[in-house]
Structure 1
Amino acid sequence: MLVKLWTDKFKGLNVGSGDYNIPENIWEQIAELWCFWFQYIAPYVLEGRLGDKYYKHVLLLCEICKMCLEFSITEEQVNRLEEMIYQWVTEYEEYYYQYQKERLSTCTSCVHAMLHIAHDIRTTGPVWAHWCYLMERFCGLIVAAVKSRSKPYVNMSRRLLHLSQLSQIEHQYNISEELQFDDNIKGISSKEHVYPEAPASILRFPRNLAYHADLTLRRKIAVYLSTEMEIPYNLLLPLIPQYMERWAKVRIAGGGDCIWTREAGANRSGRDQSYVRYDLQIDVHADDPNAEPEMKFCCCYGQLQKILVCTLPSHHFLKDKPNRRLFALVQSCQTNYQDATLGPVTYTDMHTASRIIDLRSISCVIGRVKVGIGKGRWGIIDRSASAGRTILLDDPELIDKMYEDDQ
């Protein structure tokens, strides 16, 4: 509805006394697939194209959407959500309805329904728990199951019969795990490996068992370990091996993202899965040599360049420290430690020097969207907040296929 209003295609209405029109040629440049577009991409591509008050109105709707998708929500958050929705609807009436009877058609039932969302959450729980279109969900399951082009209806009927039979067997004999038809019960394939030092970071092929680390890279590792272990740098550098394991990909356990290094995805024409979010402890008084260090966890974004497994030799300096360490070499985006889950974050340049971090500090893949024309800026799409990405699938094969597409 908002898009139709912005493009003068809503029930023959023009902008009236407002100023929110986006020319069609510009809209063709910024419109994408609607899936998550409004929530993550709109804040970047609509900046400078909508008037300031309309743009802030869009940002408020994005914040409302994210709060509605919270997997769990407190009473305080529901109260805040109710206030935000009331503000959004009031501003919507001012900007688009403009209190003119000939524009009454802009006051649709969808806008009115928003006023009931907070009440519904109070009485029935988070949105994901009750806002479920069962028939659409079932139809989607059936359509995805049709494989025959010549006899689709026979194929559909047979598929429904098989699903019903399997469902009865599953519940009667309590064998849901056995019916997953997956030889890989633990979720680790033959082309993956997990080290006990980092159980949540599942390394994936291809790998190089004897990657030669140059002196610059070994120095970066020594600097990192010197800070962490509080051992002098000059004592650690000779212990850093020249040859170590190098992996191309890592998967976050527990249904997390599959992440590629820059080199692994260099020849791919599709998505770039090498940009990541990671957290570091930063001294907030680093620029003041006279101040006492004050460490604080900060949000960082960057491109994953290498995944390394470094095995240190036994030495009395290391004492009880683990000998095997998993590192990531990343080149950071210049975002000044801003968190993209809290609002739009953009950057123009990358830091020149790459840095070594603990592989376990990487939490997820991030997306990027170009902001403006030319080289310009990049906007960061970070979906690692607590908003639930609810997946309603009944067929294990469909779930497996979804993960295959992701990887």
Structure 2
Amino acid sequence: MHLIYENVIKNLVLLWTGAYKGLDEGTGSYQLNPTVWDAIGAATAQGGSTIPTAFGARPPDVAKDRTACTADTWSFWLLYIGPVMLHKKFEKRVYYDHFIEFVKIVNICLQYEYTPDDIASIRSGFARWVEQYEKLYYQYSPDRLSACPLTIHALLHVADGIEAAGPVWAYWAFPMERFCGRLQPCIKSRRYPFASIDGHVVSTAQLSIIKVKLDCEDLIRLGPPKKEFAVGAFSHPSYPTCVLLPPHRVSKPMTAGLFNRVVVSLSTRFDKPVATIKKYLTPSDVDQWAKVQRLDGGDRMLASSMLTSLEDRRDATFVRYVLLVDVNARNRRLAPVYKPTTFYGQLQNIFVVKLPAAGELNLIEPTTLILAAISQCKIVAHNDLDMHYYRDEGAVQVVDMTSVQCLVGRIKTTSGREWVILDRSGNLARPYYDPEH
């Protein structure tokens, strides 16, 4: 982590801003105009309002508030913000492409597991990147030797480290810093600080051994048990992957347009006419909730229609959802073939719909459905890093809550004409579709 986020990316920024060890551009043209870099820093800071808190700390102004940039913030900037902000900012495209190649290799490094081909890609990828770095920044000039610090050479050994120690997510961390952070509060004496530290370490070790040997971690927990969910949360056995959180509306009437969207969704779901659905559903049968929490470490997503306006609120309403789309929809002569397709949009409403037993709907017992109303983003383009660009939002879709996968962030391009969706979920958050069920 120190290698990538505290050294390489910082040195690249220093090179781009003309502040690296007194070096000029030489025969290159990689330095950014100061006003351009200031604009990138300001846009980075402004983007914090549309990036959920779950993604990490609010990004600082990388141009003017360098002291606030930690390894964590540089990591997020490298992987998500930098590729957006640096697009078309260099005089020559080669410098941007070189940066993007670095991002791609780091993304492979951060995978939870690797194939032999992945490790080979990391090794060859860093080798090519270092060679290109020498051409662009070192320029094969002895006077510019300071552009090649040891950290650039160390990239050539990342693949060796993976083969020796495993995936980098297991050790690209700050265990010593975290341990020191746990020790600092235990210092009670300024005169004898080490005695306090020694006693705390011994006591903590003893408690850890007791917990393991007697299997009593919950019984001797020193702090109060953490409440998993707030009072008033709603869950249903039909939806084991999520729980709804308050506040919620029970008696407040829905608008006719919103109710009709729910009815149309159920009409498609049960393959019945709208009139049939309305026989068994009234607006009073629909509750609205403000939040949905994906279980097993998933995200907490908010319904935009239930939020109050706060100046410092960070947007947690945009989501990724997956629907089955008939690839033969335009040709009615062919049998339907459904393919899981990813969409992005703003979660506007969360509904709990209660339907009675009804033979016309093939419901043999009362049924509860959890639905989501989402305003779909109209994707207009995407880049090599699978980042999606959109300008407008389309019509509201009402889908089953099981389709909603996770939060996504957004950031505006420096032109202000488009939004870029930041999806950090990775392959592990993708749903599995069994065509047999």
TM-score bin, normalised by smaller chain: 0.7 to 0.9
Greater shift in the superposed pair: 106-115 or 216-225? 216-225
- Among 23, 36, 40, the alignment partner of 1:30 is 40
- Among 369, 380, 383, the alignment partner of 1:325 is 369
Asked if the contact 1:70/1:386 (under 8 Å) is kept, the reply is no
Gap change, CA 1:179 and 1:262, over 3 Å in 2:
farther
The residue aligned with 1:139 is 180
- Among 270, 273, 289, the alignment partner of 2:313 is 270
Following superposition, the deviation at residue 264 of structure 1 comes to 3.6
2:133 alignment partner, SS class? helix
| Structure 1 portions without partners, runs of 5+ | 389-407
Asked if the contact 1:278/1:301 (under 8 Å) is kept, the reply is yes
Following superposition, the deviation at residue 278 of structure 1 comes to 0.8
Q: Distance in 1 between matches of 2:131 and 2:325?
A: 42
The residue aligned with 2:28 is 18
The residue aligned with 1:47 is 87
Q: Distance in 1 between matches of 2:189 and 2:18?
A: 40
- Among 386, 389, 408, the alignment partner of 1:346 is 389
Give the structure with the larger helix fraction: 2
Deviation string, structure 1 residues 34-55 (Cα, Å, up to 9, x no partner): 4111111111111111231111
Deviation string, structure 1 residues 11-62 (Cα, Å, up to 9, x no partner): 1111111121112332233234441111111111111112311111111111
1:192 alignment partner, SS class? coil
Deviation string, structure 1 residues 74-100 (Cα, Å, up to 9, x no partner): 112212222222221121111111111
Deviation string, structure 1 residues 122-144 (Cα, Å, up to 9, x no partner): 2321112344443223223335x
Q: Distance in 1 between matches of 2:193 and 2:419?
A: 47
Asked if the contact 2:229/2:245 (under 8 Å) is kept, the reply is no
- The 5-angstrom pairing of residues 2-401 of structure 1 reads 2-31=12-41, 32-33=59-60, 34=69, 35=73, 36-50=76-90, 51-143=92-184, 145=185, 157=197, 160=201, 163-180=204-221, 181-183=223-225, 187-243=228-284, 244-268=286-310, 269-287=312-330, 292-320=335-363, 323-335=367-379, 342-351=385-394, 353-374=395-416, 376-386=417-427
Following superposition, the deviation at residue 354 of structure 1 comes to 0.8
| Structure 2 portions without partners, runs of 5+ | 1-10, 42-58, 61-68, 430-437
Q: Distance in 2 between matches of 1:234 and 1:151?
A: 81
2:123 alignment partner, SS class? helix
Following superposition, the deviation at residue 155 of structure 1 comes to 11
The residue aligned with 1:396 is none
Asked if the contact 2:327/2:337 (under 8 Å) is kept, the reply is yes
Q: Distance in 1 between matches of 2:405 and 2:190?
A: 46
Quick one: percent identity of the two aligned structures?
A: 31
1:276 alignment partner, SS class? strand
Q: Distance in 1 between matches of 2:196 and 2:319?
A: 41
Q: Distance in 2 between matches of 1:147 and 1:203?
A: 42
The residue aligned with 2:46 is none
Gap change, CA 1:58 and 1:148, over 3 Å in 2:
farther
Between the two proteins, the alignment pairs up a number of residues equal to 383
Deviation string, structure 1 residues 228-252 (Cα, Å, up to 9, x no partner): 3222333223322212211101111
Asked if the contact 1:78/1:118 (under 8 Å) is kept, the reply is yes
Calculate the TM-score normalised by the size of structure 2: 0.79
Letter of the aligned partner of 1:306 in structure 2? N
